[in-house]
Chains A and B, each alone.
Chain A
Amino acid sequence: MRLTILSLLCAATALLAADSADRSVGRPDAPVTLEVFSDFQCPHCAKLHFGALKQALGDCVASGRVRIVYRDFPLPQHQYARKAAQFADAASRLGWYERVCDALFRTQEEWERTGDIEGSVGKELTPAEIARVKKILSDSKSLAEINREIDADLALGAQIPLAETPTIIVSGGGKRYPIRGDIRYDYLKQLINSLPVK
């Protein structure tokens, strides 16, 4: 009995755990993938993050139908967007991507005024956690790797082509749909459910 509960817990954790390597949540073999291109300094991205995406996490990601892949798309007009993306990507190496995303979007208005990302996010993470993220960012090799990942996401977005954030690429059953803006979950869910499961 104990073993069954333990294996169920492990399965649930594996299902919902953020993959630190590619910043994704959900089963890797999920029939539908949502690739979310966002900019931490974009207010619509924050709305989408706490709206449709949170609902998707609790619903179709939890049920195994959807996998969410987060992509960085810092827009050039947003002064601190890349710095925020670097911070989140460093946190992803510690398995805290979702938590740091929440903190960055929640404190967006604050750090976009001051540029003090650590100070703003620091209210939601412990000093020890902040220190660990900063350690990754201070290592030139890790920082270069993080910047390469951000540039790769930007190049991927440019190929689509993508001009604005947030943009979600919904793909499944051989179909691929780009959706822009802060959308409502009702329609996103209906779209996800309309995609054939191969």
Chain B
Amino acid sequence: MRRGLLILGRLALAVVFLWAAYAKLRNPWMIFAMEIDAMHIVPDRVVEFLARTTPWCELLLGVLLAVGIKMRYVASIATAVLAIFFMTLLVLYLRGFQGDCGCFGPGEQLGPKTLARDGALLALSIWVTWQAFRRSGRAPVDTI
């Protein structure tokens, strides 16, 4: 039962990362760059780098989560990435930022719904990571 839930959780995270990557990659990178730039959280020279690389990192994470190998590392990285996203959005929200969150392409204004969804995803990722560490203690290979 728990193993089934774990696979479901891992696949749910994989779908979220793959969808986030697809939603960004189907548009020119400048769209995401403008969303990041509007947040005023990173220096100008970093904006383009982030806009060009983040979607590909999300794609890679999505694929690795779907495949399910080296889960301790992959789930830890996914949790770290989601934690960074969540904390950034939380700080922006508290500062009164009203622009796009940039999560799944253009058009989603940052609000309580965004934070609730990202918070739930972070909680799921933490649980998957914790289970990956627990199970890898017993299993001969690092998979779930």
A residues neighboring B (CB under 8 Å):
163-164, 177-184, 187-188, 190-191, 194
Contacts and interface: CB of A to CB of B under 8 A. Distances in A.
Interface stretch (B2-10, B23-31, B59-67): B23-31
B48 to A, nearest CB: 8
Contacts of B37: 183-184, 187
B30 A180 contact: no
Q: Which of A177, A178, A184, A187 has the most CB of B within 10 A?
A: A187
Interface residues of B, number: 14
A188 B34 contact: yes
B38 A177 contact: no
Contacts, number: 42
Given A164-B99, A177-B28, 10 more contacts: A164-B98, A177-B106, A178-B107, A179-B34, A180-B38, A180-B99, A181-B34, A184-B34, A191-B28, A194-B30
B28 A194 contact: yes
A177 B31 contact: yes
A42 to B, nearest CB: 11
A187 B28 CA distance: 10
Nearest to B36: A187
B106 A179 contact: yes
B31 A191 contact: yes
